[in-house]
Structure 1
Amino acid sequence: MSISADERRAKILAEVQKLGSVRVVELAERLGLPAVTVRRDVAALAESGMVRRSHGSVSVTTGRDDQAADGPALGLLVPSVGQYFDEVIAGARDAAGRAGTHLVLGISSYEASVDQAQVEQLLKSGVEGLLLAPNWLPSDRPGEQEWVKELPVPAVLVERRPALGSPAAELDSASSDHHHGVLVALRHLSALGWERITLVARRDTWTAHQVRDGYIEGCELLGLSAEPVIDSISPKTDAKTVADRLAEACARGVRAALVHNDQDAIQLLPLLRARGLRVPEDLSVVSYDDVFAALGAPPLTAVAPPKKAVGAEAVGLLLRRMASSAAASVPVQHVQLLPELTVRESCGAAAG
């Protein structure tokens, strides 16, 4: 059974961290993966600063600047490497380096059951603070977040905004305001004259649920009628089925769509063309994430959460909390940063 790029890169990173340094060919053999695939994944990890490449080998990187960092190690738990969280990691890594600290990375591969185990490993490695992007969903059972209350070191949530009254509500947090991001997209499409705008979105991530909630809220604020949300690509729904449902919505008068995320939006473009729908002539499309939206055909207008800035802000909050851990009077901060819209060709408006 094939595995996703995120899963491959998580396995590669874990193996490199275990070995310290290994030749790429040997790494491919150990993981049972084609060498060309491993080289491509290693290149992506190196570009994000998570490993170091040199003469056919790959080794661990501490995330430090060129000069050694003498400060404490900070643990960073993310659900994946690649795509969205690469930029979050890069922002956190740069901020940690500037502060004389370094990062130790844990990856849970979008499995909530792995979160605690990864955090335990980070704590065993000697980290003195934690940056956490756990795999929390609205469907979580009561008590599944209780473990954050027992952490022995200061912790900050990253790209997660704790629910009021939840166990995590007393933790500092830095996140993108996805409700604002969706509103910006809807306002742009509405300004182009479209009154019927649908949402194509996943259900399997925290961000996806924020986007869904933001869509309902944004439509109400702008006086738009919320269309039925089209469930995006999942183990039970393939891209062709999503394209069929979007084509049916267009037949009912929908003329614009917000798609979460870039990957799903780019997959839909040729499938829509095969169904006689041209973007942007017949359907204006905005994608959410802006990781590689510019590579679509046509290039996609996209909402860009401030991913690097969120990573940097989270490090700042954690270092402040670590420095003042004895001062109970320091208030908890929940910081939200605003996404921006980058206009490209997929809406039919001039790019800028």
Structure 2
Amino acid sequence: MDEPGLWSAASTAPGERELKFRVLADRLRREIRQDGCAPGRRLPTEAQLAASFAVSISTVRRAVDELVAEGLVLRRQGSGTFVRDQRPEKVRPTLIGVVVPHSSFYYPQVLRGVEEVRAAAGARVQLTCSDYDQALELTMLDEMLEAGVDGLLLVPTLSGPEPAGAYLRRLTGLPVPAVLMERRGGSLDDATEHVCTHHAAGAYDGVRHLASLGHRRIGLALRSPSPTAAPVTAGYRQAVAELGGEPAEFESALEEWGPATADRCLRRLREAGCTAALCFGDRQAALLVSAARRAGLGVPGDLALVAYDDEIADIPDVPLTAVAPPKRLIGRTAAELLLNRLRNPGQPPRQILLRPGLTVRTSCGAADRSSKEILRRTPTPGHGSRARAWPASA
């Protein structure tokens, strides 16, 4: 029940140029702001206000319309008009769920890029590691959704019980936006929003760099399994084909790579007449340096090497020239993409590939060259990490 006296008539006679509804709106506005009307308080009906102020219903309606437009009052169908709470609403910071395979190799720089964007936006992050376990990853995603995350940044595990294509389709059907990092589908039906390193282009550039130093027979040393191995191989093969050469490839499982495997790889490369090789990744290249030493060969004199990853490439006795994925930029771009998706949910998905850079060191034989072209291809600072733990895979 409305209190008597509140909303009572005072002098509402307008001046010659003032409209009655504006005079009434001013009076109601003052009573709401100055007389301490509690939020949720119901105004008298339009008929009551018209009688109290001796004006027409249409005048009352126009006055209340102004207050509604200003956000002072709120009309509720069938209930009446109520005073709104004028206190600023507390906005909950955006909560981003982040899932990466691990936080020790490759991904610390990715996470650093995410953190830079998170801090600037005032968002919060919930981070977890899947350890390349698809079932565990799904459990983590369920827990994050239950915790109320607004969006997800994911490095999904595509080698699991569920085939990669089906798993990616599952991720596109999540109830919140998801941006993938360093993972994407392999066909044109890939509907994921993602930010990835263009690994094929990185391998291509590594081979072309070796060719620019005069090498015509260039091999490839691979670790597997890894989602990066296939695009690295594709980039290598395209570059070799354009140079008019024949591929010379050696591949072994990650857990098998050791001195004996490196010796076998070196023999394969030498038998194929290779004077240079692209190695995926840094550890494989370092093992080849040691194998060459055991065989009485020098690096880069007898065998020039370019590693792929640039995580620990500066640690070996012969510092390794390396293709350097833009890890920090991957994290920044993915986080920016997700925040933009949350602000503009209707936009079409974006799929971004970032080309790696090349860090020139000793192992390719170009470290002492002053070629401006080589220097231009050195990536921006912040791309690498000096973590000494040998990687599982990116």
TM-score range, shorter chain: 0.7 to 0.9
Cα 1:257–1:128 change in 2 (3 A) is same
Q: Which residue of 1 aligns with 2:102?
A: 80
| Deviation, structure 1 residue 299 | 0.6
One-letter identity of the residue aligned with 1:129: G
Q: Which residue of 1 aligns with 2:120?
A: 98
Which runs of no fewer than 5 residues in structure 2 stay unpaired? 1-90, 369-374, 376-394
Cα 1:99–1:224 change in 2 (3 A) is farther
Which runs of no fewer than 5 residues in structure 1 stay unpaired? 1-68
Q: Is the 8 A contact 1:93 1:102 kept in 2?
A: no
Moved more, 256-265 or 234-243: 234-243
1:153 aligns with 2:173: no
Q: Is the 8 A contact 1:183 1:215 kept in 2?
A: yes
Q: Which residue of 2 aligns with 1:36?
A: none
Query: 2: distance between equivalents of 1:347 and 1:103?
Result: 41
Query: 2: distance between equivalents of 1:301 and 1:95?
Result: 30
Q: 1:9-62 CA deviation, whole Å, 9 max, x = no partner?
A: xxxxxxxxxxxxxxxxxxxxxxxxxxxxxxxxxxxxxxxxxxxxxxxxxxxxxx
Q: Is the 8 A contact 1:258 1:285 kept in 2?
A: yes
Task: Trace 1:104-123 onto structure 2 (pairs within 5 A).
Answer: 104-123=126-145
Q: 1:135-179 CA deviation, whole Å, 9 max, x = no partner?
A: 22599465343321331100011112323344xx22211111111
Q: Which residue of 2 aligns with 1:189?
A: 210
Cα 1:70–1:346 change in 2 (3 A) is farther
One-letter identity of the residue aligned with 1:347: C
Partner secondary structure for residue 193 of structure 1: coil
Match of 1:341 among 344, 350, 358: 358
Cα 1:93–1:300 change in 2 (3 A) is same
| Deviation, structure 1 residue 319 | 0.6
Q: Which residue of 2 aligns with 1:204?
A: 225
Q: Which residue of 1 aligns with 2:338?
A: 318
One-letter identity of the residue aligned with 1:339: P
Query: 2: distance between equivalents of 1:253 and 1:284?
Result: 13
Q: Which residue of 2 aligns with 1:131?
A: 153
| Deviation, structure 1 residue 232 | 3.8
Q: Which residue of 1 aligns with 2:237?
A: 216
Cα 1:142–1:311 change in 2 (3 A) is closer
Cα 1:120–1:288 change in 2 (3 A) is same
One-letter identity of the residue aligned with 1:334: Q
| Deviation, structure 1 residue 349 | 1.4
Match of 1:296 among 298, 316, 335: 316
1:231 aligns with 2:248: no
| Deviation, structure 1 residue 236 | 4.5
1:246 aligns with 2:266: yes
TM-score normalised over the length of structure 1: 0.73
Partner secondary structure for residue 345 of structure 1: coil
Partner secondary structure for residue 145 of structure 1: helix
Percent of pairs with identical residues: 35
Partner secondary structure for residue 287 of structure 1: strand
TM-score normalised over the length of structure 2: 0.66
Query: 2: distance between equivalents of 1:335 and 1:101?
Result: 23
Query: 1: distance between equivalents of 2:137 and 2:156?
Result: 6
Match of 1:305 among 325, 333, 337: 325
Partner secondary structure for residue 114 of structure 2: helix
Query: 2: distance between equivalents of 1:252 and 1:337?
Result: 33
Q: Is the 8 A contact 1:129 1:153 kept in 2?
A: yes
Q: 1:57-112 CA deviation, whole Å, 9 max, x = no partner?
A: xxxxxxxxxxxx96211111111221211111111111111111122112111233
1:174 aligns with 2:195: yes
Query: 2: distance between equivalents of 1:310 and 1:135?
Result: 17
Moved more, 307-316 or 245-254: 245-254
Match of 1:331 among 340, 348, 352: 348
Q: 1:292-336 CA deviation, whole Å, 9 max, x = no partner?
A: 2112211100001111001100001101111122x2xx1211111
Cα 1:71–1:81 change in 2 (3 A) is same
Query: 2: distance between equivalents of 1:243 and 1:273?
Result: 10
Q: Which residue of 1 aligns with 2:78?
A: none
| Deviation, structure 1 residue 221 | 3.1
Between structure 1 and structure 2, the one with the greater Rg is: 2
Partner secondary structure for residue 240 of structure 1: helix
| Deviation, structure 1 residue 257 | 0.9
Q: Which residue of 1 aligns with 2:281?
A: 261
Aligned pair count? 278
